Structure formats: structure tokens, C-alpha cells
Structure 1
């Protein structure tokens, strides 16, 4: 097989890159190891920044998002058993939209297939070769794809990043001393906006995926097993951590899914080696507290699509040469913001009362200072692409 851009991974990064390249008149083939059913059903992020929503509208991918997505103009910081609203729109003029990552994936797959795009599911054994030449190739079980450029959009555990020689790639890794237990429940959300809670027993988050489905999270130790957390135990802990003095009532419902996810920050530099370009989770991971993961992937592939169009249509190399530096500026800003949100809201087991008082001081300052609240809101809504 032959194409201009070989894309490994059919998540938001790979699929959106393929769509953006199509709009630029650049051919691509997407190779995905999982089945279509799997990638359309896996539950991931649910918060779209303002720039992400605007881009999806601009490229014709927001019809269902605009019908079914849930625009939010603020969120609550909950501490001292009381809500303190961060008014996103009032402070910044922007907002976020709750719309599941799997729904964006469904929209992208439908759009690519309707346009004659080539997405190959169930492709195993993918390995990248010859990226230091102008004819890289992707070998896989049963075939090979020759291309001008390879885009590694295959996530943190994919094979693309391992193609870059150890002497070239520098990695920065921070593992947080806690994890998130996530619960998806068929229950009407208990609040119209997200609630980020700092509690002496650990962080909790109230979110949603639709008017009928609630997404909830609890901070737990990384060594916890999901088998040790019965539904009743999870609900009891959520009730305890989310309680307020004004009588907040948490609605319960049948549990659809539950899992435990470790938290880490990770960045690989550079995001390019020869004709291989890394994007999304293949290049960086952020803790989910700041809701930046999927949005960073969108920002990466927007920069990459423009760079590859200039390279393949006009022979320009300036944008591909600056791709890594351009993306990493945004990545490190997101890493810092996500770390700030995480350390402000979570209580590690080794944090003493002194440190907890510092957390509460930061929360109180953020909730009462227009300048501090605006900075938080600006980063949360998303900096312009």
C-alpha cells in the first residue's frame, strides 16, 4: 500500500488528523489495532475546551455535539462543605462543553468513512521503519504501508514513541501518589455543573456525560483494587466527600462501569524524529484534573496538519521543523495547570495538616480573588490555538 501520511491509532488524535489532512487535500491511511466497536465504546475524557469546540464546528464535525453536548459556563470548587463557583463565561467570555470522547470518535469515523477515508481496524503488529528517510514505512501483520510521513497517534502504550532512538528522545515523568476511581452511573446528574471537591478524606469529582448519565470520581491509593470497591462502598464514600452544609443530595443509579486509573504527568521531547511525528498521548500525558488530555491532542494535530500540508504540497520544511517546539509550549502550560489543579485538590497520604492548610488557603484565595479565579478560568476554558 502507498499513501502520503500513515497514521497509527484511531483515537481522537489520529482520526482528527486524517480529517484535517483530507480538507487540505492530503491522503492518509489510519491503522488501528482494536476493533471499530471497541474504539467507539471506550469511555475517556468528556470536557471539550472552547477552542476545541470552535475547531470542530469550523471543520464540519459539530452537528451532533451542538445538539447533544452540554455547554457549561462555570464549575464549583467545593471545600469546607460549601460550593464556590468559578464563573467561566463571566470571567473569560468562553465556556466548556461536556461531550464524551467516544462520541467525538464516532463522529470522526462516520465523517471519514462518508468521505471515502481509509481506516483499517484490527491491524496488529505495527512497526515503523526508515523514518530518517523520505520514504518511511509501517510494517504490520499481513502487510506494509509506504508513506511520505508517519504520524504516531497510538497513545502512551503504543509503538511509535519507541521508534525514536533513546539518545534522541528525552522524557520527563512524574507519577502522582494517588489514583482515580471512576464510576459511570445511569442517574440524572445531581448538579448542573462540575464539582471539584477538596475533602480531608481525598478528592471527589461530580461530572456527567448526558442528562441521564453521571460520571463520578474518587481519589484512592494507587494500589487499590476495583474488586475491593463494591457499588455500595463507592456511593457511601461519594456521599461523605460531596456533602455540604446546605443539604446537597447525590442521586444514585445503576452502575454502568467502574475502574481505577493511575495519575501521571509525562512529556517526550522532541515530538518529531525524521519523518515520524508524535501527537496526543503518544507524546504526553497529563493528570485528568485539568481536563486537558484530549484537548492537547486536538491542538497537536491542528499544528501537524498545517505543517504536513505545507511540506507535501509546497515542499516547505519550516512548519515541520517547528512542530515540536510549537506544541510543547502548550503541552508544558497544560502540565503546569493540571499539576496546580491536582495538588490543590488532592490529599496525599503523606500530606500533614500544615500542607492541607496551605491547600485550603489557595482554594479560599482562588474563590475570593477575581484575578486568581480569572487565571484558573482562562486555563480551564482553554488558551487559543
Structure 2
């Protein structure tokens, strides 16, 4: 097979990129190792920046998002005694949209056939070849046969564990990583949210988050040690812990129900440089990971896709080579700013095992400052809604 752009990974980053390129008449094939059902079954983020919603609207695929999503004007930081509201609408003139990553993926997948976006699912053992040449390719196994796709460019949107990043020689790359000494235990339940806006809570027993996917489906998290087991957290224990950590105001409105899904996710900050090597370009989790505290994962992937799609469209439609050459530099400038915000908020709102009384007093002082400073709240709001592209 031959195409102009071969995309590895059919998550939201790969699908967004594929749709944007096809809308400009560029030939694209997406290769995904898993089945479509598996891709849709992954429970992920649900807070969308304007960058992400604008891309969906640009593709004409935002109707369901606007009909079913929940626009939010603010969110809360809690310190065990009070709720500090960050009024992002008043401070920035913008909103965020609560709409699950699964739903974004569903909308993009559903539109692919009618728009001529070819997606090959269940592609095993994907490998990238000759990425430094003018004729890179990838191979994969499907239905018992090895298949090859030749392309002008390969785009790695295949996540942290995918093969794309591994195709960049270590001699030309640098990886920066911080692994956090705790994880998030999450529960998804068909119960109404305890609040209309997200609550990020710093409590003596650890961090907690109250979020939602809709008016009738809620998503909650608590900070746990890395050696905790799901079976040690029956639903009742988790609801009890949430009621304590979120504080009395949220606990009074907490509706309990059976879990639809429970999982423990480790937290890390990770950046891989450069995001381009030869004819291979990386986007999303293949190049960077952020802790979920700042709701940046999917949104940062969307900003990568914005830059990458503009570079490829410029290459094919205007014979512009500068966009491809400058893609990594431009994307990484925004990546590092988002990493900073997510790291900063994680450090502020979590209890670290090696933290001492001084560290705790610094958290208290910082929360007091945020509560009383419009400038501090504005800085947080600007980062939360998404920095300019």
C-alpha cells in the first residue's frame, strides 16, 4: 500500500490528525493495534480546552459535543476547610467543556467512513522502517499476513508504549521524566455529580477529585500509594474516603452508587525531545505525558495535532518546508508550559510520602495566597483553559 501520510494510532490524536488532513485532500491511512471496541472502551479524560473544541468544530463534528457536553465557567481548589473558586470565565473570557475523551473518539470514528478516512484496526506487531529516508514505511500483521505501507511521512500518535518513539535513535534524543510516588484510584458511577464544577481537594489523607462525565454520570479519584490494590477498595470504602477528603460541603451532596469501572493509574511527567526525526513526527502521549491534575493530556495532544496538521497541509498545498522543520520546536514550547502547570498543581494538591511539616506549610501558604490574589487566580485560569497556540 502507498499513501502520503501514515498515522500510527487511532486514539483521538491520530483520528483528529487524520480528519484534518483528509479535509484538505491529503491521502491518509491510520493503523491501530487494537480493535475499535477496545479503543472506545478506554476511560480517559473529560475536560476539553477551547483548542480541542475548536478542532472538532472546524471538522463539523462538534454538534453532539455542544448538545451533550457541559460548559464550565470555573472549578474549585479545596483545602479541607473551604472551597476556593477559580472563575475562569470572568478571568479569561473563556470556558472549558466537560465531554469525555471516549465521546470525542466515538464522534471521530463514526465520521471516518463517509469522509474517506481509512483506519486499519487489529494491526499486530507494527514496526517503522527507514524513517530517516525519503521513503519511510511501516509493517504490520493482519489476518495472518505481513503488510507494508509506504508513505511520505509517518506520524506517531500511538501513546507512551507504542513503537513510534522507539524508532528514534537514543543518540539523537533526550527523555525527561518524573515518576510520582502515588497513583489515582478512580471510580466511574451512574450517579449525579456532587457539584456543578470540578473540585481538586488537598486533604491530610491525600488528594481527591470530584468530576463528571454528564449530569447523571460522575468520575471521582483519590490519591493512593502505588502498592494499593483495587480489591482492597470496595465501593463503600471509596465513597467514605471521598466524603472525608472532599470536605463537608461536597460530602453533603455526594450520591453513592455501584461502580461501573475502577482503576488505579500511576502518575508521571515525561517529555521526549525532539518530536521529529527525519520523516517521523510524534504527537500526543508518544512524545509527552502529564499527570492528570491539570486536565492537559488530551488537550496537549490536540495542540500537537494543530501544529502538525498545519505543517503537513503547508507541505502539500503550498510547498512549504518550514512547517515540518519547525514542528518540534513549536510543539515543545507549549508542551513544556503545560508540563509546568500540571507539575505545579500536582505538587500543590497532593501529599508526598517524603513531605515534612515545612512542605505542608508551603502548601497552606500557597492556597491562602491563591484565595486572596486575583493575579494568582488569573494565572491558574489562563493555564487551565489553555495557553494560546
- TM-score in terms of structure 1 length: 0.98
Q: Distance in 1 between matches of 2:25 and 2:322?
A: 19
Which whole-Å deviations, capped at 9, do the CAs of 1:198-236 have from their partners, x for residues lacking one?
101100000000111100000011121112211111111
In 2, are the aligned partners of 1:81 and 1:245 still within 8 Å (CA)? Answer: no
Q: Distance in 2 between matches of 1:189 and 1:235?
A: 13
Once the 2 structures are TM-superposed, how far is the Cα of residue 3 of structure 1 from its aligned partner? Answer: 0.5
Q: Provide the residue aligned with 1:152 in structure 2.
A: 156
* Alpha-carbon distance change, 201 to 140 in structure 1, aligned in 2, over 3 angstroms: same
Once the 2 structures are TM-superposed, how far is the Cα of residue 273 of structure 1 from its aligned partner? Answer: 0.4
Please point out which of 195, 202, 223 is paired with 1:191.
195
- Mean CA deviation greater in 53-62 or 268-277: 53-62
Q: Provide the residue aligned with 1:303 in structure 2.
A: 307
Please point out which of 176, 181, 185 is paired with 1:177.
181
Please point out which of 312, 323, 327 is paired with 1:319.
323
Q: Distance in 2 between matches of 1:247 and 1:4?
A: 54
Please point out which of 245, 261, 279 is paired with 1:257.
261
* Alpha-carbon distance change, 250 to 4 in structure 1, aligned in 2, over 3 angstroms: same
Q: Distance in 1 between matches of 2:253 and 2:106?
A: 34
1:179-328 equivalences in 2 (<5 Å)? 179-244=183-248, 248-328=252-332
Q: Provide the residue aligned with 2:41 in structure 1.
A: 41
Which whole-Å deviations, capped at 9, do the CAs of 1:140-198 have from their partners, x for residues lacking one?
11211011100000000000000000101110010011110011011111111100101
Q: Counterpart of 2:163 in 1: which secondary structure?
A: coil
Once the 2 structures are TM-superposed, how far is the Cα of residue 110 of structure 1 from its aligned partner? Answer: 1.2
1:75-86 equivalences in 2 (<5 Å)? 75-86=75-86
Q: Provide the residue aligned with 1:4 in structure 2.
A: 4
In 2, are the aligned partners of 1:82 and 1:244 still within 8 Å (CA)? Answer: no
* Alpha-carbon distance change, 316 to 229 in structure 1, aligned in 2, over 3 angstroms: same
Please point out which of 331, 336, 339 is paired with 2:335.
331
Q: Distance in 1 between matches of 2:187 and 2:251?
A: 22
Q: Counterpart of 2:203 in 1: which secondary structure?
A: coil
Once the 2 structures are TM-superposed, how far is the Cα of residue 59 of structure 1 from its aligned partner? Answer: 2.1
Q: Distance in 2 between matches of 1:99 and 1:257?
A: 18
Q: Provide the residue aligned with 1:349 in structure 2.
A: 353
Q: Distance in 1 between matches of 2:249 and 2:283?
A: 45
Q: Provide the residue aligned with 1:90 in structure 2.
A: 90
Once the 2 structures are TM-superposed, how far is the Cα of residue 295 of structure 1 from its aligned partner? Answer: 0.4
Q: Does 1:118 align with 2:118?
A: yes
In 1, are the aligned partners of 2:194 and 2:254 still within 8 Å (CA)? Answer: yes
Q: Distance in 1 between matches of 2:317 and 2:196?
A: 47
Q: Provide the residue aligned with 1:22 in structure 2.
A: 22
- Mean CA deviation greater in 131-140 or 303-312: 303-312
Q: Distance in 2 between matches of 1:116 and 1:138?
A: 21
Once the 2 structures are TM-superposed, how far is the Cα of residue 249 of structure 1 from its aligned partner? Answer: 2.9
Q: Distance in 2 between matches of 1:267 and 1:327?
A: 11
In 2, are the aligned partners of 1:51 and 1:383 still within 8 Å (CA)? Answer: no
Q: Distance in 2 between matches of 1:80 and 1:296?
A: 30
Q: Counterpart of 2:313 in 1: which secondary structure?
A: helix
Once the 2 structures are TM-superposed, how far is the Cα of residue 245 of structure 1 from its aligned partner? Answer: 6.3
* Alpha-carbon distance change, 246 to 230 in structure 1, aligned in 2, over 3 angstroms: closer
Which whole-Å deviations, capped at 9, do the CAs of 1:334-370 have from their partners, x for residues lacking one?
0000011100000012111221111011011112100
Q: Counterpart of 1:204 in 2: which secondary structure?
A: strand
Q: Provide the residue aligned with 2:59 in structure 1.
A: 59
Q: Distance in 2 between matches of 1:337 and 1:246?
A: 25
Q: Provide the residue aligned with 2:106 in structure 1.
A: 106
Once the 2 structures are TM-superposed, how far is the Cα of residue 383 of structure 1 from its aligned partner? Answer: 1.3
Q: Provide the residue aligned with 1:167 in structure 2.
A: 171
Aligned CA RMSD, in angstroms, stands at 1.1
In 2, are the aligned partners of 1:77 and 1:85 still within 8 Å (CA)? Answer: yes
In 1, are the aligned partners of 2:153 and 2:279 still within 8 Å (CA)? Answer: yes
In 1, are the aligned partners of 2:156 and 2:165 still within 8 Å (CA)? Answer: yes
Number of equivalences: 385
